[in-house]
């Protein structure tokens, strides 16, 4: 069950034909070689791994039947639902609805929708991905591939056989009290994941790290936004390094470190620190492979950029070496 904070995300999707389809009453026992869908105490239906899953492995690929902008409220979404096959409508109707005051279909869509991107304009309802329950320390992450029109779910921490498959619902990181407030108001549940159940002293240490992360993310964003007017310097690259260290200490391995690496690489380029920029870009590329796969368009773009940066670095080093030889 899930409800995303993007209240206008309205749409329905189906899973690719090669994946197990959920049919009527069989929904609770649907499975494939990677996971099974079953009832999880206190959470409703969820996905359980049926074998060990390694970091970077893709476990789901979902293709949308209906896409909509977040400003769409009900009329279009209901019409698109009505155009689905009976079996696909059954998939939608089997999902949880916590918004009883709305049309049942709209309530289900609002409850279970997943944005295509954190800052994008579209989102969707996925018969399988929408069943992934929340954890503040998730073991999977979603990525949207616009070129193919599909959502991919990749493992970001090794998952053991019998362990629940989880994702992170909010679009931003937050300390314990704010997370719980968000979940109770928006999702109507209280999170009891491993991070939220830490002993008080450990939870306080986690909250302190998260507060620092939030502050440094804002500083990095401001630096990036105003880089044309305020030239980046070594202190800004040190900020990136500190932020990456905090992500590591807090166990955050999703899009946040990737964004820090990418922005850090761009800032280093602005400073003409090409070696540092190349190192950060290569780390971002390797992380993209784990989060999205080799075949994702964003991964390919970053891979091409890394190649060009390495070529440029070699040219600059060759020029510097030639200059030294001439001086001799």
- Note whether 235 and 309 are same-domain residues: yes
- Note whether 148 and 18 are same-domain residues: yes
Mark which of 187, 218, 246 sits at the end of a domain: 187
pLDDT tens digits, 130-176: 999 999 999 999 999 988 989 999 999 999 999 999 999 887 889 99
Vertex 61: Cα angle to 57 and 65 (nearest 5)? 165
SS3 of 140-153: the string is EEEEEECCCCEEEE
- Note whether 95 and 178 are same-domain residues: yes
Residue 7 lies in a domain: no
Residue 119 Cα distances to 5, 68, 170, 171, 187, angstroms: 12, 15, 12, 8, 20
Residue 214 lies in a domain: yes
Mark which of 156, 187, 218 sits at the end of a domain: 187
Quick one: which of 111, 249, 98 has its CA closest to 173? Answer: 249
Task: Give residue 281's pLDDT.
Answer: 97
- Please tell me the total count of domains within the chain: 2
- Note whether 169 and 281 are same-domain residues: no
Residue 290's domain spans which residues?
A: 200-327
Residue 136 lies in a domain: yes
Quick one: which of 199, 171, 193, 163 has its CA closest to 180? Answer: 193
- Note whether 226 and 94 are same-domain residues: no
Mean predicted lDDT score pLDDT of the chain: 84
Using CA atoms, how far apart are residues 124 and 116, in angstroms rounded to an integer? 7
* This prediction's pTM: 0.84
| Residue 273, token pair as written in the block | 């620190």
Mark which of 165, 187, 209 sits at the end of a domain: 187
- Note whether 180 and 89 are same-domain residues: yes
- Note whether 159 and 282 are same-domain residues: no
Task: Give residue 273's pLDDT.
Answer: 92
Residue 17 lies in a domain: yes
- Note whether 126 and 210 are same-domain residues: no
Task: Give residue 32's pLDDT.
Answer: 65
Task: Give residue 17's pLDDT.
Answer: 29
- Note whether 115 and 214 are same-domain residues: no
pLDDT tens digits, 262-297: 999 999 999 999 999 999 999 999 999 999 999 999
Q: Report the first-to-last Cα separation within the chain, whole angstroms.
A: 70
Q: Report DSSP state, residue 195.
A: T
| Residue 18, token pair as written in the block | 């090669």
- Note whether 243 and 311 are same-domain residues: yes
Average pLDDT of span 105-126? 82
* CATH number of the domain within which 272 lies: 1.25.40
Q: With 80 as the cut, is the pLDDT of residue 19 above it?
A: no
- Note whether 161 and 52 are same-domain residues: yes
3 falls in which pLDDT band (50, 70, 90)?
Answer: very low
Residue for token pair 């498959």: 165
* CATH number of the domain within which 39 lies: 2.170.270.10
pLDDT tens digits, 119-140: 767 888 888 899 999 999 999 9
Residue 230 lies in a domain: yes
Residue 81 lies in a domain: yes
- Note whether 230 and 306 are same-domain residues: yes
What are the two backbone dihedrals, phi and then psi, of residue 169, each rounded to the nearest 5 degrees? Answer: -75, -50
């Amino acid at each position: 069950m899930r409800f995303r904070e993007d209240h206008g995300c309205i749409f329905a999707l189906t899973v690719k034909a090669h994946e197990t389809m959920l049919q009527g009453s069989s929904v609770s026992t649907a499975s494939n070689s990677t996971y099974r869908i079953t009832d999880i105490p206190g959470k409703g239906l969820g996905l359980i791994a049926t074998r060990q899953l390694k970091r970077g492995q893709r476990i789901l690929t979902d293709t949308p039947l209906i896409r909509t902008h977040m400003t769409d409220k009900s009329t279009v979404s209901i019409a698109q639902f009505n155009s689905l096959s009976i079996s696909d409508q059954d998939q939608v109707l089997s999902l949880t609805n916590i918004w009883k005051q709305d049309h049942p279909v709209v309530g289900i869509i609002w409850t279970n929708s997943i944005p295509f991107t954190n800052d994008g304009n579209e989102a969707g309802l996925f018969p399988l991905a929408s069943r992934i329950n929340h954890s503040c320390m998730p073991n999977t992450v979603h990525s949207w591939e616009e070129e193919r029109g599909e959502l991919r779910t990749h493992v970001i921490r090794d998952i053991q056989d019998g362990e629940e498959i989880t994702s992170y619902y909010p679009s931003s990181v937050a300390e314990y009290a704010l997370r719980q407030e968000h979940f109770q108001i928006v999702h109507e549940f209280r999170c009891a994941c491993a991070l939220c159940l830490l002993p008080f002293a450990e939870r306080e240490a986690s909250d302190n790290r998260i507060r620092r992360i939030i502050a440094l993310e804002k500083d990095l964003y401001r630096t990036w936004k105003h880089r044309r007017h305020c030239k980046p310097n070594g202190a800004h690259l040190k900020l990136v390094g500190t932020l990456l260290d905090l992500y590591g200490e807090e166990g955050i391995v999703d899009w946040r470190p990737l964004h820090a690496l990418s922005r850090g690489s761009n800032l280093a380029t602005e400073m003409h620190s090409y070696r540092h920029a190349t190192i950060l870009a290569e780390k971002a590329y390797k992380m993209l492979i784990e989060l999205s796969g080799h075949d994702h368009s964003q991964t390919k773009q970053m891979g091409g950029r890394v190649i060009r940066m390495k070529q440029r670095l070699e040219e600059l080093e060759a020029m510097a070496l030639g200059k030294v030889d001439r001086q001799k």
